[in-house]
């Protein structure tokens, strides 16, 4: 048979587990979806010929923590 100290320890451990599970259930689900930071820049290149100029768009994306 378990003594009082062991029973108290087991009860405290179970309460801690339940608190952890409850906290995980309350977390918003939006954190499960990775977030991305997207930026872009436009550059107009000067014409190499008489045909006109070129537009260059550079897009970069990185995951946010």
* Residue written as token pair 């918003």: 28
Q: What is the DSSP string of 16-48?
A: HHHHHHHHHHHS-GGGGSPEEEEEEEEEEEPPS
What is the domain range of residue 29?
4-64
Q: pTM higher than 0.85, yes or no?
A: no
pLDDT in tens, the chain (65 residues): 557 777 778 888 888 888 888 777 666 655 566 778 899 998 888 776 767 778 888 999 888 76
Answer for the pair 45, 53: CB distance below 8 angstroms, yes or no.
Answer: yes
Number of domains in the chain: 1
Report CA-CA distances (Å) from 3 to 9, 29, 42, 59: 10, 42, 73, 66
Instruction: Give the separation between CA 6 and CA 2, rounded to whole angstroms.
Output: 6
pLDDT for 27 equals 60
């Amino acid at each position: 048979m378990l003594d009082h100290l062991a029973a108290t320890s087991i009860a405290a451990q179970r309460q801690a587990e339940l608190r952890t599970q409850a906290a995980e259930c309350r977390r918003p689900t939006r954190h499960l979806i990775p977030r991305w930071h997207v930026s872009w820049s436009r550059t107009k290149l000067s014409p190499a010929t008489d045909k006109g100029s070129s537009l260059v768009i550079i897009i970069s994306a990185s995951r946010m923590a």
